[in-house]
Amino acid sequence: MRRGLTALALAAWLAATPVQSAPTEMKPSPAEDAFITLGTMGGPVPSPDRSQPANALLHAGRVYLVDAGDGSVGQLARAGILLPRVRAVFLSHLHADHTGGLSAVLALRNQTNQRQPITIYGPPGTRELVAGLVAAMQPAARAGYGIPGQPWQAPAETVNVIEMRDGATLSVDGMRITAVQNSHYDFAPGSIEDRNYQSFSLRFDLPGRSIVYTGDTGPSPAVEQLARGADLLVSEMIDMGGTLAVVDRNSPDMPAEARRQLEQHLSTHHLTPGAVGQLAARAGVGALVITHFAAGTPDPDRTARYLADIRTHFAGRVTLANDLDRF
Amino acid sequence: MRRGLTALALAAWLAATPVQSAPTEMKPSPAEDAFITLGTMGGPVPSPDRSQPANALLHAGRVYLVDAGDGSVGQLARAGILLPRVRAVFLSHLHADHTGGLSAVLALRNQTNQRQPITIYGPPGTRELVAGLVAAMQPAARAGYGIPGQPWQAPAETVNVIEMRDGATLSVDGMRITAVQNSHYDFAPGSIEDRNYQSFSLRFDLPGRSIVYTGDTGPSPAVEQLARGADLLVSEMIDMGGTLAVVDRNSPDMPAEARRQLEQHLSTHHLTPGAVGQLAARAGVGALVITHFAAGTPDPDRTARYLADIRTHFAGRVTLANDLDRF
């Protein structure tokens, strides 16, 4: 009975719906470049008041996701960005809090018949990640809208993957992108783990502006070098005191050695406020944006402490990002 | 240097973080059964003000996801539910708006070392979906927290899949669950497509309460039969007028035949407010909750029209659900 439903009719329906629901005042001007912090809470434990790590880079009217944690699709909608505008995704590393929303990005593109391929750039392992997500999309792709004879497109045809290596430079739509391996992972240089599991910081050189995104990292000379002279540094940060206070409250019997090791892990794989300030100062960046909070949204006291620690080293403009902030 | 970081230390950190950030007043009482509408907007086009389809069924202190659209993990956190409490996921069908958030559920469980297996119940194709998602988790699982020598668990060991068939009845943690094939898909009965691609409505008979969730469906005698006498019917609904008005505004040149086909598709694969009212009345349910809105959050006029259409047929209590409502 519904055999005759045309792709035109479906496409019109799918394309039409968001026009009514997207708040037009939030729609970015196509010509304006921007970096939007879609999700500003570090994982892997989800937060009730901030989304997991995801960002949108806007350049020349196109949109690029920079990390894609749980809820990226919803956060894009809240930023007034239609999903089909997303041309590519850059993954800093493959921890689930930075990739958990990629499945929905790819599968919803497929369900809305987006035929323009999307490209996923990421560290080694990205090909395996995306291959799994594409395989997961097969049953829904074949079922389509449940209309007999409806044509369907193989999900793999709409997704490309480019794995980056340390020092990679790419040219994408008029941007130059540089990836360097940072210190979020602790594998011995040259080991097989070090070759297979890498965490990147990313630099986006747009025609009029340079933006560096640390992803997750500890202190790292390579990241300092990458960030040199950038107009904007978007940096992760860990609240050691806040996180350890919670640990102490919940695990008062933790052996001293285990606690020392945990502290070492957090402080060498992540950046304290002081370390962020040092990074920004040494790199001589124009402005600093903090994201990837740990231990909940900071209250005014903690905010003041963060800023004081950062400003001990860095005299430029500092912003603690909220979800959907635009820089 | 960090080789000695113990599983204890990591586990303490991971377990500790949410205690600070989850709003304790929202934590459900372990003994209280409830159905929470985590996401109430139908997809596949994401909405800025409502999450994609997902629900949490609470029974005897345990949590079951019923569909898992984009952002399910974040919505669980906003409902005060810690991810490790989720024992199983029931998928009504495999459209991406109902499954896009499953990847994050599984991957974040893995990243936080949840060893208790989670079970995914769903229609034919669920095994293929989950196999893909599990394969996608491999690189992050092997990398762990970037600590040399850290043990890791194969993601497949923490996920089970049970594919249901039309009429399946299951016993899970003291609940009886029944799945029936509904009319969201339109394949000829007995065809290979009909066997491979099925959309289910689900009934949850708890010791003190029965809840039926339509998933996505058009009018269906099987769903009426399933819902007979249920205390609560949680039903999808389509706003034909609202959706077609948007189509007409954006595609004024759509051929009449294509528009007729689109209308037929929407009205036979989904439930108009009148059809929802008829379903609730014929099944004799105790109360009706509407979810899976189309064409944006309804304004007061549309809300009044929905309710009037429903009440033409059904005299019981009707609620239009919001995200995070609890029933």
pLDDT of residue B11: 53
pLDDT of residue A194: 95
Residue A191: which residues within 8 A CB-CB, separation 6 or more?
B148
The shortest C-alpha distance from B288 to chain A (Å) reads 25
Tell if the CB–CB gap between B146 and A197 is shorter than 8 Å.
yes
The shortest C-alpha distance from A87 to chain B (Å) reads 17
Give the closest of B47, B191, B265 to A21, CB-based: B47
pTM assigned to the model: 0.92
Per-residue pLDDT of chain B (327 residues; tens, 9 = 90+): 344 455 555 655 554 444 333 333 344 444 589 999 999 999 888 999 999 999 999 999 999 999 999 999 999 999 999 999 999 999 999 999 999 999 999 999 998 888 899 999 999 999 999 999 999 999 999 998 888 888 888 999 999 999 999 999 999 999 999 999 999 999 999 999 999 999 999 999 999 999 999 999 999 999 999 999 999 999 999 998 888 887 788 778 888 887 887 787 788 999 999 999 999 999 999 999 999 998 889 999 999 999 999 999 999 999 999 999 999
Amino acid (one-letter) located at A118: I
pLDDT of residue A31: 59
- Report whether B93 contacts B216 (CB < 8 A): yes
Tell if the CB–CB gap between A258 and B94 is shorter than 8 Å.
no
Tell if the CB–CB gap between A111 and B96 is shorter than 8 Å.
yes
SS3 B11: helix
Length of chain A: 327
Q: How far apart are CA A62 and CA A86, in angstroms?
A: 7
Tell if the CB–CB gap between A46 and B297 is shorter than 8 Å.
no
Give the closest of A9, A22, A100 to B107, CB-based: A100
What DSSP letter does each residue of A266-282 carry, written as one string? HHHHS--HHHHHHHHHH
Tell if the CB–CB gap between B95 and A111 is shorter than 8 Å.
yes
Tell if the CB–CB gap between B52 and A73 is shorter than 8 Å.
yes
pLDDT of residue A259: 81
Per-residue CA distances from A313 to A27, A144, A236, A283, A290 (Å): 36, 56, 16, 11, 15
Mutate which of B41, B108, B127, B163 to disrupt the A interface (most A C-beta within 10 Å)?
Answer: B108
SS3 B73: helix
Structure tokens belonging to residue B268: 């036979």
CA B169 from centre of chain: 19
- In degrees and rounded to multiples of 5, residue A91 shows phi and psi of -105, 125
Tell if the CB–CB gap between B19 and A132 is shorter than 8 Å.
no
Q: All domains of chain B, ordered by start, with CATH? A: 1-122+124-163 (3.60.15.10), 165-322 (3.60.15.10)
Beta partners for B235? B290
Structure tokens belonging to residue B130: 């989950």
How many helices (H) and strands (E) in chain A? 11, 14
Structure tokens belonging to residue B249: 């505004």
> Residue B135: CA atoms inside 13 Å, Cβ hemisphere, count?
16
Q: How far apart are CA B248 and CA B254, in angstroms?
A: 8
| Inter-chain CB pairs, A–B, below 8 Å | 380
DSSP assignment, residue A25? G
The shortest C-alpha distance from B37 to chain A (Å) reads 16
Mutate which of A19, A73, A83 to disrupt the B interface (most B C-beta within 10 Å)?
Answer: A73
Tell if the CB–CB gap between A1 and B142 is shorter than 8 Å.
no
Tell if the CB–CB gap between B196 and A143 is shorter than 8 Å.
yes
Low-confidence ranges of chain A (pLDDT < 50): 1-4, 15-30
pLDDT of residue A103: 98
Phi-psi region of A56 (alpha: psi -120 to 50; beta: other; left: phi over 0): beta
Whether residue B84 is preceded by a cis peptide bond, meaning omega within 30 degrees of 0, is no
The shortest C-alpha distance from B256 to chain A (Å) reads 10
Tell if the CB–CB gap between B52 and A143 is shorter than 8 Å.
no
Tell if the CB–CB gap between B135 and A140 is shorter than 8 Å.
no
The shortest C-alpha distance from B197 to chain A (Å) reads 6
- In degrees and rounded to multiples of 5, residue A65 shows phi and psi of -80, 135
DSSP alpha helix (H) spans, A87-233: 96-99, 102-111, 126-143, 192-196, 221-227
The Cβ of residue A157 has, within 10 Å, a number of other Cβ atoms equal to 11
The shortest C-alpha distance from A120 to chain B (Å) reads 14
- Report whether B134 contacts B106 (CB < 8 A): yes
Amino acid (one-letter) located at B195: R
pLDDT of residue A148: 85
Q: How is chain A split among helix, strand and coil, in percent rounded to 5?
A: 40, 20, 40
Mutate which of A40, A70, A268 to disrupt the B interface (most B C-beta within 10 Å)?
Answer: A70
Using a CB-CB distance cutoff of 8 angstroms, which residues of chain A are in contact with residue B139?
A: 94, 124-126, 128-129, 196-197
The shortest C-alpha distance from A216 to chain B (Å) reads 11
Using a CB-CB distance cutoff of 8 angstroms, which residues of chain A are in contact with residue B6?
A: 258, 261
Structure tokens belonging to residue A123: 């560290």
What DSSP letter does each residue of B14-55 carry, written as one string? HHHHHHHHS-GGGPPPTT--EEEEEE-B-SSS--SSSPPSEE
Strand order in the sheet with B34-39: B159-163, B118-122, B86-90, B62-68, B54-59, B34-39, B325-326
Q: Which residue of A has its CA nearest to B71?
A: A71
Structure tokens belonging to residue B133: 């998602």
Mutate which of A3, A20, A63 to disrupt the B interface (most B C-beta within 10 Å)?
Answer: A20
Using a CB-CB distance cutoff of 8 angstroms, which residues of chain B are in contact with residue A269?
A: 145-146
- Report whether B174 contacts B183 (CB < 8 A): no
What DSSP letter does each residue of B292-316 carry, written as one string? -B-SSS--HHHHHHHHHHHHTT--S
Tell if the CB–CB gap between B47 and A77 is shorter than 8 Å.
yes
Radius of gyration of chain A, Cα coordinates, nearest whole angstrom: 21
pLDDT of residue B247: 78
- In degrees and rounded to multiples of 5, residue A145 shows phi and psi of -90, 20
